[in-house]
Amino acid sequence: MYLTKRLGLSSLILMGAILLTACPSRETISKINADPGRYRNKEVGIAGNVTDSYGVLGNGAYEIDDGTGRIWVVTTRGVPSRGSRVGAKGKVYTGYSFGGRSFGTVLQETDRRAKGK
């Protein structure tokens, strides 16, 4: 019985560790913009309201404001509408250009959750 409990507890701890390492850290946009090199090529999560968006044939960019700052998010999944509440995760890059426009520091989206307007 002791072995069964110990095995169950060990399995639970292992599963928790795996789940926590798979989740990107959530950061404020002001921290990302203050030191983009720290986050370069690392997956992070952000959340906020969409203030602007541009899209063409499923590709595009949208700007998120989390109350601490703004950052552009580039995507190949279509863009959410202005005013939407969005959570996005992805990798941070600097010097990104899209459609002839330079966006500076961006988050290249790998996943998104939206709550609508």
57 Rama sector, left if φ>0, alpha if ψ -120 to 50, beta otherwise? left
Residue 39 has pLDDT above 50, yes or no: yes
- In this structure, the strands spanning 85-98 and 101-114 are antiparallel
Q: What is the CATH number of the domain that holds 58?
A: 2.40.50.140
4 found inside a domain: no
What is the residue range of 53's domain?
25-114
Task: Check residue 17 and give its pLDDT.
Answer: 46
56 found inside a domain: yes
Nearest to 93 by CA among 48, 23, 41, 19: 41
14 found inside a domain: no
Confidence of residue 59 (pLDDT cuts 50, 70, 90): confident
Q: Write out the H or E segment, with its range, that includes residue 102.
A: strand 101-114
What's the structural domain count of the chain?
1
99 exposed, middle or buried (CB, 10 Å; 0-12, 13-18, 19+)?
exposed
Task: Check residue 96 and give its pLDDT.
Answer: 72
Per cent of the chain over pLDDT 90 is 52
